[in-house]
Structure 1
Amino acid sequence: MVITATKTRFCHQTWQLEAQIQLIQTMGDVTYVITDVTPFHPVSHIWPDHPADKGTLTIKGMKFEVVDCQVGAVELASGKLHVGTAIPVKRDAEGWVFVVVHVVPRTDAITVGDAALLEVDKEYQLSLSRGHSAGHIAYLALNKVLAQNYWRKDADRKDPHGNYDFNSYAQETSFVTQDKCLDTYRLGKTLRKRGLNSADMLSDLKSIEQQVNVLLGDWLKRDAAITIDCHGEHLTDSRYWQCDLGEGEIAVIPCGGTHASHLNDFGSILVTLVEVDAQTVEMHTDVKR
């Protein structure tokens, strides 16, 4: 069978579909299953901020738990599969296709060409989607609040609303969990040189937190959809998160994760800013339904 790049459906509010198995590989106590199309979102091997989906594959009447879901790359000349951090090439490398790897407990009972019913754990995916979208909305709010009083000179990077992009400059890590996003920011010498008054930011952290939460409350009153603009149907094609938060420009953010579909998916979004040390701040973003 000719192996093709996986067609993805995780940005289409699709949680169940039928597909054909293209490749099977067993490693230790697990088996990798690659299908031609999938509703499962894999964890990224480059920026693993969004966890893998959970769910099941049903093949020839047998149901297998998807214990992990990763990005894979297949070298077409050899048919060799590389998974996760073992992928040796960048996306769209000639002679390679990128695939979604469904990891199931070891089995010898399935074969290439079999039909599979793929079913994503919808509620789990939706909880991650809310957490991820909330993280985007929260950092846009933080950027806006900081832009008003905490930059002493113009910053080169601006966010989609035209505010100084503190998030882009300072973010070290971002991790999405169910109805939550945790961002870690570093307030180092380089950021101070770029113009951030980090000492003032730290001393006013609780006030900033309050202003961010007021802004989030205002934004969530809007009747606005969240959409994903997919520039293709494959894993390596660009995808853009979009939402009109009433700031003059529609927020457009490159992002490969799954997301909420409307601002009314959130009862509230609440941010807590935590000073870890003199150079590190955490933003805890929590969603209430």
Structure 2
Amino acid sequence: MTELAPTVVTYPDGALTGSSTVTHVTVLGDGRTGVVLETTPFHPVDTAWPDQPADTGLLRTPDGDVRVATVVTGGVHEGDLVVGHDLPVRMGTEGWTFVVVHVLDGAGPKVGTAVDAHVDGRLRAALSAGHTACHLASLALDAALSDAWKKDVPTDAAGHPAFDMLAIQTSRITEYGSTDVYRIGKSLRRKGFDPAALDDLRAVEERANAVLAGWAGSPGAIGIHREDHTLAGRRTWRCELPEGTVELPCGGTHLTSLAEIEAITVAVEAVEVPGGVELTMTTGIRLAP
């Protein structure tokens, strides 16, 4: 296989379209084709932490439009391209080149073809809102549980004990929302978390939602900041909250201002599982008209 360069990605800047050239085509099975472009506005699902679903859309070619069914992360090592769930390493691993693979149902354009990439803007907007809501909800939950700790633990970007970071099991971004699952077991209790803080879940919700109500509609800017424009480059989500600016590592897409938000609300539920408790937070966001 011809050596591939890392894919340059423009979705962190909010791009929905772009012109590029096909650099590699691979057969994926089940009649699908994987297409790599030099530059792309398409956001791929991350194999290691698949929180935000992939963009969908179209590649417009000289022979007509082809649908992009999904977009995944690929890695090239010693001349071999490994795609999606088969990728055995995390993004940024030394010795690997990381690319965006556009998955097509059927044949794709040939190497060297000039294409115009068009992302589904409706889906992107819904997922961007959901991802922003997810970050804000996690910070609000940390604040709501800040008195539940008996020991000093790492803090989040806002300075509260980092419950989200320490307890998170899975996070899934949905259209205009998210679902986050946390585990409260022996490990978290040893770190100093008091499970009794979850005895009154409605009170936890009220505290978190009060924090979120104070942020929604405020004028703070939201953006992704980066110096490296390739897929594996480090990216930081930055949000100007009324209390001060917070920053989190993030590879997804987002809103551009808190002023776009009319309301964010969370609901939390807990169930007993072997060895502890599983807490689920469901977040919803409503945008300003």
What is the TM-score of this pair, normalised by structure 1? 0.93
Give CA-to-partner distance per residue, 1:46-99, whole Å, 9 cap, x none.
101110001011111411111110000123x53x31101222444445553210
For 1:5, the aligned partner's letter is P
In structure 2, relative to structure 1, the CA distance for the partners of 1:89 and 1:276 (3 Å cut) is closer
1:254 aligned onto 2:249: yes
Q: CA RMSD in A?
A: 1.5
Cα distance in 2 between the residues matched to 1:281 and 1:142: 11
Q: How many residues align?
A: 282
Give CA-to-partner distance per residue, 1:187-225, whole Å, 9 cap, x none.
1112112111112x2212101101111110111132011
SS in 1 for 2:145: helix
SS in 2 for 1:130: helix
In structure 2, relative to structure 1, the CA distance for the partners of 1:172 and 1:96 (3 Å cut) is closer
In structure 2, relative to structure 1, the CA distance for the partners of 1:174 and 1:196 (3 Å cut) is same
What is the match of residue 101 of structure 1? 101
What is the match of residue 265 of structure 1? 260
What is the match of residue 279 of structure 1? 277
1:146 CA drift (Å): 1.0
The counterpart of 1:234, out of the listed 213, 226, 230, is 230
Higher strand share: 2
1:218 aligned onto 2:214: yes
1:2 CA drift (Å): 5.0
Question: 5+ residue gaps in structure 1?
Answer: none
SS in 2 for 1:40: coil
For 1:275, the aligned partner's letter is A
Cα distance in 2 between the residues matched to 1:91 and 1:204: 39
What is the match of residue 243 of structure 1? 239
What is the TM-score of this pair, normalised by structure 2? 0.93
What is the match of residue 134 of structure 2? 135
Question: 5+ residue gaps in structure 2?
Answer: none
What is the match of residue 30 of structure 1? 32
Superposition pairs of residues 1-289 of structure 1, within 5 angstroms: 2-28=3-29, 29-75=31-77, 77-78=78-79, 80-93=80-93, 95-107=95-107, 110-147=109-146, 149-155=147-153, 157-199=154-196, 201-248=197-244, 250-277=245-272, 279-289=277-287
Cα distance in 1 between the residues matched to 2:92 and 2:212: 38
